[in-house]
Chain A
Protein backbone atom coordinates (compact mmCIF):
# COMPACT_ATOMS: atom_id res chain seq x y z
CA UNK A 1 0.00 0.00 0.00
CA UNK A 2 1.05 3.54 -0.72
CA UNK A 3 0.40 4.59 2.87
CA UNK A 4 2.67 1.83 4.20
CA UNK A 5 5.48 2.76 1.85
CA UNK A 6 4.99 6.40 2.74
CA UNK A 7 5.11 5.78 6.48
CA UNK A 8 8.04 3.39 6.42
CA UNK A 9 10.20 5.51 4.16
CA UNK A 10 9.48 9.12 5.03
CA UNK A 11 12.69 9.85 7.01
CA UNK A 12 14.61 8.70 3.97
CA UNK A 13 12.55 10.62 1.47
CA UNK A 14 12.59 13.77 3.58
CA UNK A 15 16.37 13.65 3.47
CA UNK A 16 16.27 13.09 -0.27
CA UNK A 17 13.79 15.94 -0.65
CA UNK A 18 16.15 18.24 1.20
CA UNK A 19 18.94 17.27 -1.18
CA UNK A 20 16.70 17.90 -4.18
CA UNK A 21 15.73 21.30 -2.76
CA UNK A 22 19.35 22.26 -2.10
CA UNK A 23 20.47 21.12 -5.50
CA UNK A 24 17.68 22.92 -7.30
CA UNK A 25 18.06 26.09 -5.26
CA UNK A 26 21.79 26.35 -5.90
CA UNK A 27 21.33 25.43 -9.56
CA UNK A 28 18.57 27.96 -10.17
CA UNK A 29 20.36 30.78 -8.35
CA UNK A 30 23.42 30.17 -10.48
CA UNK A 31 21.14 29.76 -13.48
CA UNK A 32 19.65 33.22 -12.89
CA UNK A 33 23.09 34.78 -12.73
CA UNK A 34 24.12 32.99 -15.92
CA UNK A 35 20.80 33.90 -17.51
CA UNK A 36 21.11 37.58 -16.67
CA UNK A 37 24.65 37.78 -18.04
CA UNK A 38 23.73 35.98 -21.24
CA UNK A 39 20.63 38.14 -21.65
CA UNK A 40 22.80 41.28 -21.43
CA UNK A 41 25.24 39.81 -23.90
CA UNK A 42 22.38 39.22 -26.29
CA UNK A 43 21.00 42.72 -26.14
CA UNK A 44 24.38 44.45 -26.07
CA UNK A 45 25.75 46.34 -29.08
CA UNK A 46 28.91 44.28 -29.18
CA UNK A 47 28.97 41.76 -32.01
CA UNK A 48 31.32 39.47 -30.10
CA UNK A 49 29.10 39.34 -27.00
CA UNK A 50 26.04 38.75 -29.20
CA UNK A 51 27.82 35.88 -30.82
CA UNK A 52 28.85 34.31 -27.51
CA UNK A 53 25.32 34.54 -26.14
CA UNK A 54 23.81 33.21 -29.31
CA UNK A 55 26.17 30.23 -29.43
CA UNK A 56 25.60 29.48 -25.77
CA UNK A 57 21.84 29.45 -26.12
CA UNK A 58 21.92 27.40 -29.32
CA UNK A 59 24.25 24.75 -27.95
CA UNK A 60 22.79 24.44 -24.46
CA UNK A 61 19.18 24.62 -25.49
CA UNK A 62 19.86 22.25 -28.36
CA UNK A 63 21.27 19.38 -26.32
CA UNK A 64 19.55 17.25 -23.68
CA UNK A 65 20.27 17.93 -20.03
CA UNK A 66 21.13 14.30 -19.40
CA UNK A 67 23.91 14.52 -22.01
CA UNK A 68 25.24 17.67 -20.35
CA UNK A 69 25.23 16.06 -16.91
CA UNK A 70 27.10 13.01 -18.19
CA UNK A 71 29.65 15.11 -20.08
CA UNK A 72 30.30 17.15 -16.96
CA UNK A 73 30.47 14.21 -14.56
CA UNK A 74 32.07 11.45 -16.62
CA UNK A 75 33.36 13.07 -19.78
CA UNK A 76 35.38 15.92 -18.34
CA UNK A 77 36.60 13.92 -15.36
CA UNK A 78 40.19 14.08 -16.53
CA UNK A 79 40.11 17.89 -16.52
CA UNK A 80 37.86 18.72 -13.58
CA UNK A 81 36.85 16.42 -10.77
CA UNK A 82 33.43 17.46 -9.61
CA UNK A 83 31.41 15.88 -6.88
CA UNK A 84 28.03 14.51 -7.83
CA UNK A 85 26.40 17.50 -6.20
CA UNK A 86 28.39 20.09 -8.12
CA UNK A 87 28.33 18.25 -11.41
CA UNK A 88 24.56 18.11 -11.08
CA UNK A 89 24.19 21.69 -9.87
CA UNK A 90 26.42 23.19 -12.54
CA UNK A 91 24.85 21.18 -15.34
CA UNK A 92 21.40 22.28 -14.16
CA UNK A 93 22.54 25.89 -13.83
CA UNK A 94 24.09 25.95 -17.28
CA UNK A 95 21.05 24.30 -18.79
CA UNK A 96 18.45 26.47 -17.08
CA UNK A 97 20.61 29.54 -17.66
CA UNK A 98 20.00 29.32 -21.39
CA UNK A 99 16.24 29.35 -20.94
CA UNK A 100 16.33 32.00 -18.21
CA UNK A 101 18.47 34.19 -20.49
CA UNK A 102 15.73 34.19 -23.08
CA UNK A 103 13.11 34.96 -20.44
CA UNK A 104 15.14 37.94 -19.19
CA UNK A 105 15.88 39.15 -22.70
CA UNK A 106 12.22 38.97 -23.63
CA UNK A 107 11.10 40.87 -20.57
CA UNK A 108 13.82 43.52 -20.84
CA UNK A 109 12.96 44.11 -24.47
CA UNK A 110 9.28 44.27 -23.63
CA UNK A 111 9.85 47.49 -21.69
CA UNK A 112 9.07 50.48 -23.86
CA UNK A 113 12.23 51.84 -25.45
CA UNK A 114 11.07 55.32 -24.57
CA UNK A 115 11.71 54.59 -20.91
CA UNK A 116 15.39 54.12 -21.50
CA UNK A 117 15.52 57.21 -23.69
CA UNK A 118 13.69 59.22 -21.05
CA UNK A 119 16.01 58.02 -18.30
CA UNK A 120 19.08 58.82 -20.35
CA UNK A 121 17.78 62.28 -21.18
CA UNK A 122 17.36 62.86 -17.45
CA UNK A 123 21.08 62.30 -17.17
CA UNK A 124 21.08 58.73 -15.91
CA UNK A 125 23.86 56.50 -17.11
CA UNK A 126 22.96 53.34 -19.01
CA UNK A 127 23.69 51.01 -16.07
CA UNK A 128 21.82 53.22 -13.66
CA UNK A 129 18.79 53.44 -15.95
CA UNK A 130 18.93 49.69 -16.43
CA UNK A 131 19.09 49.05 -12.73
CA UNK A 132 16.60 51.60 -11.51
CA UNK A 133 14.11 51.86 -14.33
CA UNK A 134 14.19 48.95 -16.74
CA UNK A 135 15.15 45.90 -14.66
CA UNK A 136 12.55 46.30 -11.89
CA UNK A 137 9.79 46.44 -14.47
CA UNK A 138 11.32 43.66 -16.55
CA UNK A 139 11.65 41.47 -13.50
CA UNK A 140 7.98 41.77 -12.74
CA UNK A 141 7.10 40.74 -16.24
CA UNK A 142 9.55 37.84 -16.07
CA UNK A 143 8.03 36.30 -12.96
CA UNK A 144 5.37 34.05 -14.51
CA UNK A 145 7.79 32.58 -17.05
CA UNK A 146 10.54 32.41 -14.47
CA UNK A 147 8.28 30.52 -12.06
CA UNK A 148 7.44 28.15 -14.86
CA UNK A 149 11.10 27.60 -15.66
CA UNK A 150 11.89 26.98 -11.98
CA UNK A 151 9.23 24.30 -11.80
CA UNK A 152 10.68 22.63 -14.87
CA UNK A 153 14.14 22.95 -13.33
CA UNK A 154 13.02 21.28 -10.13
CA UNK A 155 11.56 18.35 -11.99
CA UNK A 156 14.57 18.11 -14.30
CA UNK A 157 16.82 17.82 -11.28
CA UNK A 158 15.63 14.20 -11.06
CA UNK A 159 18.04 13.43 -13.91
CA UNK A 160 21.01 13.67 -11.55
CA UNK A 161 19.99 10.23 -10.31
CA UNK A 162 21.71 9.09 -13.48
CA UNK A 163 25.12 9.86 -12.05
CA UNK A 164 24.21 8.06 -8.86
CA UNK A 165 22.96 10.92 -6.74
CA UNK A 166 20.51 10.09 -3.97
CA UNK A 167 18.02 12.83 -4.68
CA UNK A 168 14.28 12.14 -4.56
CA UNK A 169 14.23 10.17 -7.77
CA UNK A 170 17.48 8.34 -7.10
CA UNK A 171 16.18 7.30 -3.70
CA UNK A 172 12.90 6.19 -5.25
CA UNK A 173 14.69 3.97 -7.75
CA UNK A 174 16.77 2.40 -5.00
CA UNK A 175 13.77 1.82 -2.76
CA UNK A 176 11.73 0.19 -5.51
CA UNK A 177 14.61 -2.16 -6.26
CA UNK A 178 14.74 -3.36 -2.69
CA UNK A 179 11.08 -3.43 -1.66
CA UNK A 180 9.93 -4.82 -5.04
CA UNK A 181 7.00 -2.38 -5.05
CA UNK A 182 7.36 -0.09 -8.03
CA UNK A 183 3.92 1.45 -8.35
CA UNK A 184 3.65 2.49 -4.72
CA UNK A 185 7.22 3.75 -4.44
CA UNK A 186 7.09 5.82 -7.62
CA UNK A 187 3.78 7.31 -6.59
CA UNK A 188 5.22 8.32 -3.24
CA UNK A 189 8.11 10.01 -5.06
CA UNK A 190 5.64 11.79 -7.33
CA UNK A 191 3.77 13.02 -4.28
CA UNK A 192 6.90 14.61 -2.84
CA UNK A 193 7.60 16.46 -6.08
CA UNK A 194 3.97 17.55 -6.28
CA UNK A 195 3.99 18.96 -2.76
CA UNK A 196 7.29 20.76 -3.36
CA UNK A 197 5.99 22.37 -6.50
CA UNK A 198 2.68 23.34 -4.91
CA UNK A 199 4.54 25.09 -2.11
CA UNK A 200 6.75 26.85 -4.62
CA UNK A 201 3.82 27.93 -6.78
CA UNK A 202 2.12 29.38 -3.74
CA UNK A 203 5.07 31.67 -3.08
CA UNK A 204 5.39 32.68 -6.72
CA UNK A 205 1.72 33.68 -6.76
CA UNK A 206 2.20 35.66 -3.55
CA UNK A 207 5.19 37.45 -4.99
CA UNK A 208 3.36 38.22 -8.17
CA UNK A 209 0.39 39.62 -6.29
CA UNK A 210 2.66 41.76 -4.15
CA UNK A 211 4.57 43.19 -7.07
CA UNK A 212 1.38 43.85 -8.99
CA UNK A 213 0.18 46.25 -6.29
CA UNK A 214 -0.06 49.80 -7.56
CA UNK A 215 0.39 48.60 -11.08
CA UNK A 216 -2.18 49.54 -13.69
CA UNK A 217 -2.49 46.38 -15.75
CA UNK A 218 -4.47 47.89 -18.61
CA UNK A 219 -2.07 50.68 -19.22
CA UNK A 220 0.83 48.28 -19.16
CA UNK A 221 -0.87 46.12 -21.77
CA UNK A 222 -1.26 49.14 -24.00
CA UNK A 223 2.38 50.05 -23.59
CA UNK A 224 3.40 46.57 -24.60
CA UNK A 225 1.77 46.80 -27.95
CA UNK A 226 4.03 49.63 -28.99
CA UNK A 227 7.16 47.54 -28.53
CA UNK A 228 8.46 45.58 -31.44
CA UNK A 229 10.47 42.84 -29.79
Chain B
Protein backbone atom coordinates (compact mmCIF):
# COMPACT_ATOMS: atom_id res chain seq x y z
CA UNK B 1 0.00 0.00 0.00
CA UNK B 2 2.78 2.38 0.87
CA UNK B 3 4.44 1.81 -2.45
CA UNK B 4 1.24 2.42 -4.26
CA UNK B 5 0.76 5.74 -2.53
CA UNK B 6 4.22 6.72 -3.69
CA UNK B 7 3.33 5.70 -7.23
CA UNK B 8 0.23 7.85 -7.32
CA UNK B 9 2.29 10.66 -5.84
CA UNK B 10 4.71 10.43 -8.73
CA UNK B 11 1.83 10.40 -11.17
CA UNK B 12 0.16 13.40 -9.61
CA UNK B 13 3.31 15.46 -9.69
CA UNK B 14 3.85 14.48 -13.33
CA UNK B 15 0.37 15.69 -14.07
CA UNK B 16 0.97 18.99 -12.35
CA UNK B 17 4.35 19.50 -13.97
CA UNK B 18 2.96 18.54 -17.34
CA UNK B 19 0.09 20.96 -17.15
CA UNK B 20 2.37 23.73 -15.92
CA UNK B 21 4.69 23.15 -18.85
CA UNK B 22 1.81 23.12 -21.25
CA UNK B 23 0.28 26.27 -19.89
CA UNK B 24 3.66 27.96 -20.05
CA UNK B 25 4.18 27.19 -23.71
CA UNK B 26 0.57 27.62 -24.69
CA UNK B 27 -0.22 30.94 -23.13
CA UNK B 28 1.55 33.03 -25.74
CA UNK B 29 -0.61 31.81 -28.53
CA UNK B 30 -3.94 31.83 -26.72
CA UNK B 31 -6.80 33.77 -28.19
CA UNK B 32 -7.81 37.29 -27.16
CA UNK B 33 -9.73 37.06 -23.97
CA UNK B 34 -10.67 38.79 -20.79
CA UNK B 35 -10.97 42.51 -20.72
CA UNK B 36 -9.56 45.32 -18.73
CA UNK B 37 -5.89 44.40 -18.69
CA UNK B 38 -3.20 46.71 -19.79
CA UNK B 39 -1.33 45.27 -22.71
CA UNK B 40 0.71 45.98 -25.79
CA UNK B 41 0.60 49.23 -27.72
CA UNK B 42 2.46 51.66 -25.56
CA UNK B 43 0.90 50.54 -22.28
CA UNK B 44 -2.55 51.70 -23.31
CA UNK B 45 -5.37 49.91 -21.58
CA UNK B 46 -7.47 47.57 -23.66
CA UNK B 47 -11.07 48.43 -24.42
CA UNK B 48 -12.59 45.04 -25.21
CA UNK B 49 -16.02 45.06 -26.75
CA UNK B 50 -18.14 42.21 -28.00
CA UNK B 51 -20.41 41.62 -30.96
CA UNK B 52 -21.80 38.57 -32.70
CA UNK B 53 -19.59 38.86 -35.78
CA UNK B 54 -22.34 37.31 -37.91
CA UNK B 55 -24.46 40.43 -38.39
CA UNK B 56 -23.43 41.99 -41.66
CA UNK B 57 -22.97 44.95 -42.13
CA UNK B 58 -22.73 45.79 -38.43
CA UNK B 59 -20.22 43.14 -37.57
CA UNK B 60 -18.78 40.50 -39.86
CA UNK B 61 -15.55 38.99 -41.09
CA UNK B 62 -13.76 40.05 -44.21
CA UNK B 63 -10.63 38.04 -45.02
CA UNK B 64 -10.56 37.01 -41.41
CA UNK B 65 -10.66 40.58 -40.16
CA UNK B 66 -13.58 41.56 -38.01
CA UNK B 67 -15.13 44.62 -39.58
CA UNK B 68 -18.39 46.53 -39.85
CA UNK B 69 -20.12 49.55 -38.38
CA UNK B 70 -20.02 48.33 -34.77
CA UNK B 71 -16.30 47.56 -34.98
CA UNK B 72 -15.43 51.00 -36.30
CA UNK B 73 -17.59 52.80 -33.76
CA UNK B 74 -15.75 50.88 -31.05
CA UNK B 75 -12.41 51.85 -32.53
CA UNK B 76 -13.39 55.51 -32.68
CA UNK B 77 -14.61 55.42 -29.08
CA UNK B 78 -11.47 53.67 -27.86
CA UNK B 79 -9.34 56.29 -29.55
CA UNK B 80 -11.22 59.10 -27.80
CA UNK B 81 -10.84 57.32 -24.47
CA UNK B 82 -7.13 56.83 -25.08
CA UNK B 83 -7.53 53.08 -25.08
CA UNK B 84 -6.58 50.22 -27.31
CA UNK B 85 -9.56 48.85 -29.28
CA UNK B 86 -10.04 45.09 -29.03
CA UNK B 87 -13.24 43.91 -30.72
CA UNK B 88 -14.13 40.29 -30.04
CA UNK B 89 -16.95 38.01 -31.09
CA UNK B 90 -19.32 36.02 -28.96
CA UNK B 91 -22.51 34.22 -29.96
CA UNK B 92 -25.33 36.74 -29.66
CA UNK B 93 -27.38 34.82 -27.11
CA UNK B 94 -24.41 34.63 -24.77
CA UNK B 95 -23.36 38.22 -25.26
CA UNK B 96 -24.92 39.57 -22.05
CA UNK B 97 -23.86 36.55 -19.92
CA UNK B 98 -20.35 37.07 -21.30
CA UNK B 99 -20.41 40.71 -20.22
CA UNK B 100 -21.51 39.61 -16.75
CA UNK B 101 -18.71 37.07 -16.69
CA UNK B 102 -16.22 39.91 -17.32
CA UNK B 103 -15.08 38.51 -20.66
CA UNK B 104 -15.11 42.03 -22.10
CA UNK B 105 -15.71 45.61 -21.01
CA UNK B 106 -18.68 46.46 -23.20
CA UNK B 107 -21.07 45.18 -25.83
CA UNK B 108 -21.09 47.20 -29.05
CA UNK B 109 -23.19 44.66 -30.85
CA UNK B 110 -26.33 46.38 -32.00
CA UNK B 111 -28.09 45.69 -28.72
CA UNK B 112 -31.57 47.18 -28.79
CA UNK B 113 -32.49 49.00 -25.60
CA UNK B 114 -35.37 47.13 -23.96
CA UNK B 115 -36.78 47.44 -20.42
CA UNK B 116 -35.98 43.78 -19.89
CA UNK B 117 -32.31 44.23 -20.77
CA UNK B 118 -32.05 47.36 -18.69
CA UNK B 119 -32.41 45.11 -15.66
CA UNK B 120 -29.36 43.14 -16.73
CA UNK B 121 -26.97 45.77 -18.08
CA UNK B 122 -26.32 49.51 -18.10
CA UNK B 123 -26.92 51.22 -21.41
CA UNK B 124 -25.14 54.28 -22.77
CA UNK B 125 -26.87 56.82 -24.99
CA UNK B 126 -28.04 55.30 -28.27
CA UNK B 127 -25.35 55.04 -30.93
CA UNK B 128 -27.75 54.40 -33.77
CA UNK B 129 -31.46 54.09 -34.50
CA UNK B 130 -33.05 51.62 -36.81
CA UNK B 131 -36.27 49.76 -37.45
CA UNK B 132 -37.47 46.19 -36.98
CA UNK B 133 -38.59 44.96 -40.36
CA UNK B 134 -40.45 41.94 -41.73
CA UNK B 135 -38.82 40.16 -44.67
CA UNK B 136 -40.40 37.46 -46.84
CA UNK B 137 -39.47 35.47 -49.90
CA UNK B 138 -39.89 37.32 -53.17
CA UNK B 139 -43.22 36.44 -54.75
CA UNK B 140 -44.95 35.83 -51.44
CA UNK B 141 -48.33 37.54 -51.79
CA UNK B 142 -50.02 36.34 -48.61
CA UNK B 143 -47.96 38.40 -46.16
CA UNK B 144 -48.45 42.12 -46.64
CA UNK B 145 -48.38 43.41 -43.07
CA UNK B 146 -47.73 42.26 -39.55
CA UNK B 147 -51.36 41.14 -39.18
CA UNK B 148 -50.81 38.50 -41.85
CA UNK B 149 -48.14 36.83 -39.75
CA UNK B 150 -50.64 35.07 -37.46
CA UNK B 151 -49.88 31.35 -37.49
CA UNK B 152 -46.95 31.82 -39.88
CA UNK B 153 -43.46 30.44 -39.42
CA UNK B 154 -41.11 33.21 -38.37
CA UNK B 155 -37.33 33.10 -38.10
CA UNK B 156 -35.38 35.32 -35.72
CA UNK B 157 -32.05 35.38 -33.96
CA UNK B 158 -31.89 33.89 -30.45
CA UNK B 159 -32.32 36.23 -27.49
CA UNK B 160 -33.04 39.24 -29.72
CA UNK B 161 -35.78 41.81 -29.43
CA UNK B 162 -36.99 40.49 -32.79
CA UNK B 163 -37.82 37.29 -30.93
CA UNK B 164 -40.18 39.30 -28.73
CA UNK B 165 -41.84 40.67 -31.84
CA UNK B 166 -42.24 37.19 -33.28
CA UNK B 167 -43.84 36.00 -30.04
CA UNK B 168 -46.38 38.80 -30.30
CA UNK B 169 -47.21 38.15 -33.94
CA UNK B 170 -47.42 34.37 -34.21
CA UNK B 171 -47.68 31.20 -32.14
CA UNK B 172 -44.68 30.34 -30.04
CA UNK B 173 -44.23 26.93 -31.66
CA UNK B 174 -44.02 28.53 -35.11
CA UNK B 175 -40.86 30.46 -34.25
CA UNK B 176 -37.44 29.21 -35.30
CA UNK B 177 -34.42 30.67 -33.54
CA UNK B 178 -31.08 31.08 -35.29
CA UNK B 179 -27.55 32.00 -34.27
CA UNK B 180 -27.39 34.68 -36.92
CA UNK B 181 -29.95 36.90 -38.67
CA UNK B 182 -28.17 36.12 -41.91
CA UNK B 183 -28.76 32.41 -41.46
CA UNK B 184 -32.43 33.12 -40.87
CA UNK B 185 -32.66 35.20 -44.05
CA UNK B 186 -30.89 32.46 -45.98
CA UNK B 187 -33.58 30.05 -44.81
CA UNK B 188 -36.43 32.06 -46.36
CA UNK B 189 -36.10 30.70 -49.92
CA UNK B 190 -35.99 27.11 -48.63
CA UNK B 191 -39.61 27.44 -47.55
CA UNK B 192 -38.85 26.47 -43.97
CA UNK B 193 -39.86 29.97 -42.95
CA UNK B 194 -42.61 32.32 -44.05
CA UNK B 195 -40.98 35.44 -42.69
CA UNK B 196 -37.93 36.79 -40.89
CA UNK B 197 -37.91 39.73 -38.54
CA UNK B 198 -34.65 41.59 -38.22
CA UNK B 199 -33.05 44.96 -38.54
CA UNK B 200 -33.99 46.97 -41.61
CA UNK B 201 -30.45 47.75 -42.62
CA UNK B 202 -29.27 44.16 -42.23
CA UNK B 203 -32.04 42.88 -44.50
CA UNK B 204 -31.68 45.61 -47.09
CA UNK B 205 -27.96 44.98 -47.31
CA UNK B 206 -28.69 41.28 -47.73
CA UNK B 207 -31.03 42.02 -50.65
CA UNK B 208 -28.62 44.49 -52.24
CA UNK B 209 -25.72 42.02 -52.15
CA UNK B 210 -27.83 39.28 -53.69
CA UNK B 211 -27.92 37.00 -50.67
CA UNK B 212 -31.25 35.60 -51.80
CA UNK B 213 -34.58 36.50 -53.35
CA UNK B 214 -36.09 38.34 -50.43
CA UNK B 215 -38.21 41.48 -50.03
CA UNK B 216 -39.19 43.73 -47.16
CA UNK B 217 -42.86 43.95 -46.25
CA UNK B 218 -44.92 46.79 -44.82
CA UNK B 219 -43.83 49.51 -42.48
CA UNK B 220 -41.11 48.84 -39.91
CA UNK B 221 -42.59 47.29 -36.77
CA UNK B 222 -40.81 49.78 -34.58
CA UNK B 223 -37.93 52.19 -34.44
CA UNK B 224 -35.38 50.90 -32.02
CA UNK B 225 -32.57 52.58 -30.21
CA UNK B 226 -29.36 50.61 -30.15
CA UNK B 227 -26.95 51.32 -27.35
CA UNK B 228 -23.66 50.16 -25.90
CA UNK B 229 -23.98 47.98 -22.82
CA UNK B 230 -21.65 47.75 -19.83
CA UNK B 231 -21.93 45.80 -16.58
CA UNK B 232 -24.46 46.87 -13.98
CA UNK B 233 -22.92 49.28 -11.49
CA UNK B 234 -20.21 50.44 -13.88
CA UNK B 235 -21.61 53.96 -14.04
CA UNK B 236 -18.14 55.34 -14.62
CA UNK B 237 -17.82 53.43 -17.90
CA UNK B 238 -21.21 54.69 -19.06
CA UNK B 239 -20.12 58.27 -18.53
CA UNK B 240 -16.76 57.72 -20.16
CA UNK B 241 -18.33 56.10 -23.22
CA UNK B 242 -21.09 58.71 -23.48
CA UNK B 243 -18.49 61.45 -23.43
CA UNK B 244 -16.48 59.74 -26.18
CA UNK B 245 -19.66 59.16 -28.17
CA UNK B 246 -20.55 62.85 -27.96
CA UNK B 247 -17.09 63.72 -29.14
CA UNK B 248 -17.13 61.45 -32.20
CA UNK B 249 -20.58 62.77 -33.15
CA UNK B 250 -19.42 66.39 -32.82
CA UNK B 251 -16.12 66.05 -34.67
CA UNK B 252 -17.68 64.24 -37.62
CA UNK B 253 -16.07 60.83 -37.06
CA UNK B 254 -19.46 59.27 -36.48
CA UNK B 255 -20.89 60.81 -39.63
CA UNK B 256 -17.96 59.49 -41.64
CA UNK B 257 -18.35 55.91 -40.36
CA UNK B 258 -22.10 55.96 -40.86
CA UNK B 259 -21.84 57.36 -44.38
CA UNK B 260 -19.25 54.75 -45.24
CA UNK B 261 -21.47 51.83 -44.28
CA UNK B 262 -24.99 53.11 -44.97
CA UNK B 263 -24.78 56.26 -47.04
CA UNK B 264 -26.64 58.17 -44.34
CA UNK B 265 -26.48 59.10 -40.68
CA UNK B 266 -28.19 56.35 -38.73
CA UNK B 267 -28.20 58.21 -35.44
CA UNK B 268 -30.80 60.68 -36.67
CA UNK B 269 -34.47 59.90 -36.07
CA UNK B 270 -36.19 58.86 -39.27
Chain B residues, CB < 8 A from A83? 30-34
B interface residues, how many (CB within 8 angstroms): 54
User: Which residues in chain A, 38-96, are within 8 Å of chain B measured between CB atoms?
Assistant: 40-41, 44-46, 49, 70, 73-75, 77-78, 81-86, 89
Q: Is B182 an interface residue (CB 8 A)?
A: yes
Smallest CB separation, B88 vs chain A (Å): 7
Chain A residues, CB < 8 A from B7? 40, 126-127, 130
Task: Name the residue on A nearest B209 (C-beta).
Answer: A180
Known: A49-B8, A77-B101, A84-B33. A173 touches B54 (CB 8 A): yes
Contact check, A177 vs B60: say whether CB atoms are below 8 A apart: yes
Task: Name the residue on A nearest B16 (C-beta).
Answer: A33
User: Which residues in chain B, 5-32, are within 8 Å of chain A measured between CB atoms?
Assistant: 6-8, 10-12, 14-15, 18-19, 22-23, 26-27, 29-32
Which of B90-98, B160-168, B221-229 participates in binding chain A?
A: B90-98
Task: Name the residue on B nearest A182 (C-beta).
Answer: B186
User: Which residues in chain A, 172-203, are within 8 Å of chain B measured between CB atoms?
Assistant: 173-178, 180, 182
User: Chain B, 166-187, contact with A by CB distance < 8 Å: what is the 0/1 string?
Assistant: 0000000000000110110010
Contact check, B212 vs A44: say whether CB atoms are below 8 A apart: no
Q: Is B211 an interface residue (CB 8 A)?
A: yes
Chain A residues, CB < 8 A from B11? 36-37, 40
Chain B residues, CB < 8 A from A34? 15
Q: Is B153 an interface residue (CB 8 A)?
A: no
Contact check, B31 vs A162: say whether CB atoms are below 8 A apart: no
Cα–Cα distance between A86 and B1 once the two chains are bound (Å) = 36
Q: Is A164 an interface residue (CB 8 A)?
A: yes
User: Chain B, 181-209, contact with A by CB distance < 8 Å: what is the 0/1 string?
Assistant: 01100100000000000000000001001
Which of B61-69, B139-147, B258-266 participates in binding chain A?
A: B61-69
Known: A84-B33, A173-B179. A126 touches B56 (CB 8 A): no
Contact check, A174 vs B89: say whether CB atoms are below 8 A apart: yes
Cα–Cα distance between A73 and B90 once the two chains are bound (Å) = 12
Cα–Cα distance between A78 and B34 once the two chains are bound (Å) = 12
Cα–Cα distance between A173 and B60 once the two chains are bound (Å) = 10
Cα–Cα distance between A120 and B36 once the two chains are bound (Å) = 58
Contact check, A85 vs B31: say whether CB atoms are below 8 A apart: yes
Q: Is A166 an interface residue (CB 8 A)?
A: yes
Contact check, B101 vs A78: say whether CB atoms are below 8 A apart: yes
Q: Is A142 an interface residue (CB 8 A)?
A: no
Contact check, B33 vs A177: say whether CB atoms are below 8 A apart: no
Task: Name the residue on A nearest B103 (C-beta).
Answer: A77
Supplied contacts A45-B4, A127-B7, A177-B53, 20 more A-B pairs, CB within 8 Å: A40-B11, A73-B103, A74-B100, A77-B100, A77-B101, A81-B33, A81-B102, A82-B33, A85-B31, A86-B30, A126-B4, A127-B10, A163-B94, A164-B88, A164-B89, A174-B54, A176-B183, A177-B56, A178-B54, A178-B61
